Amino acid sequence: MKPEAYGGKTIMARVYNFSAGPSMLPEEVLKTAAAEMLEYGATGQSVMEMSHRSKEYQAIFDEAEANLRELMNIPDDYYVLFLQGGASTQFAMVPFNLMNKNGKADYIITGQWANKAYKEAARYGKARAVASSADKTYSYIPKTKREDFDPEADYVHICMNNTIYGTKYHELPDTGDIPLVADISSCILSEPIDVKKFGVLYAGAQKNVAPAGVTIVIIRKDLVGNAMDITPTMLNYATHAENGSMFNTPPCYAIYIAGLTFKWLKKIGGLEAMKKINEEKAKILYDFLDGSKLFKGTVVPEDRSLMNVPFVTGSDELDAKFVAEAKKAGFVNIKGHRTVGGMRASIYNAMPTEGVKKLVEFMKKFEEENA
């Protein structure tokens, strides 16, 4: 990777960042943000310095929400909220606001984050684990039928894409009239999604949208306004819905970056175009893994994620050697999650196809030298 000129300075070319989050952002977004850092438009100030109550910032906010609604085709009977606290705060907000009729909720456990959400909900009501893939280290999505769910459950919760283990729901569980709640942190905006099939969608932005700090919540309006009496004011969806996400100071700069990402996605053709690119990238990597004599994917083929691809060599020593040599070659943050080891290539929207192709070339070379 050669140095390149930008802004009158010579900088080293960027590495290929396969981090699961915070992850890489589109270069176009970063360059726009850099150009606007000292002065946004004709305001004479950085977005970082703006009052969130100013008309200038409100315009940034409104445009971001409008573009997200357009990209995801979000119906008018859903609120779009830009909150704080990461997806982990939603593990409490969801039961506080939705476990309010029968005090029951069903959870499908497909990984660490789904399990954390389940355990948090169990603090506030009767949370039930309907199905789990823990028996095979979360390497598949458990199949469920409508009758598996408690008809008295106030909602059913899933983690749609499992960042650590590399699994993805390609077919949603049939929950009947029970609202479906999904954590989409690591797959938001990677492909089209039918928002109408969900009661709540939530996502931390640091994987596919923006820097850490903002959490996007898309919630059906009829599910807002019935929070438990013990719900803290800041954890009540109504607090934020009634105040346009401005009850307190929002993560202003992260929302601004999210808005730039939404514009970038629209420019490349929206989520249908993004899906095609992501499918191409994933196919390049999975095809190599399926034919490799050294590397092996860890997920059953039918449940593979387009975003997170875990793989191993079968040797802890070789895994460590690969991670070290990959870093020297410009492929960073490819080490697997601390709970599972091995390697993981997170190939989110901003990862160019070229980056995946070069990673595969490097893997082929490593295999030739170490198999």
User: Residues 6 or more apart from 27 whose CB is under 8 A from it?
Assistant: 14, 350
pLDDT for 340 equals 83
Q: How far apart are CA 255 and CA 209, in angstroms?
A: 9
Which member of 106, 113, 154, 168 is catalytic? Answer: 113
Where do the domains of the chain lie? 4-28+270-370, 39-267
pLDDT for 111 equals 96
pLDDT for 176 equals 96
CATH fold for domain 4-28+270-370: Aspartate Aminotransferase, domain 1 (3.90.1150)
Which member of 104, 106, 154, 183 is catalytic? Answer: 183
264 has catalytic annotation: no
Which member of 168, 207, 281, 335 is catalytic? Answer: 207
Task: State the pairing for strand pair 104-109/126-132.
Answer: parallel
> What pLDDT digit, counting tens, does each position of 254-296 carry?
999 999 999 999 999 999 999 999 999 999 999 999 999 999 9
pLDDT for 314 equals 92
1 has pLDDT over 70? no
In the block, residue with structure tokens 């009829």:
222
Supply the mean pLDDT for the chain: 95
CATH fold for domain 39-267: Aspartate Aminotransferase; domain 2 (3.40.640)
281 has catalytic annotation: no
* pTM of the full structure: 0.95
15 has pLDDT over 60? yes
> What pLDDT digit, counting tens, does each position of 76-110 carry?
999 999 999 999 999 999 999 999 999 999 999 99
pLDDT for 6 equals 47
155 has pLDDT over 70? yes
**Beta bridge pairs of residue 344:** 310
194 has catalytic annotation: no
Considering only CA atoms, which of 171, 168, 163, 179 is closest in space to residue 106? 179
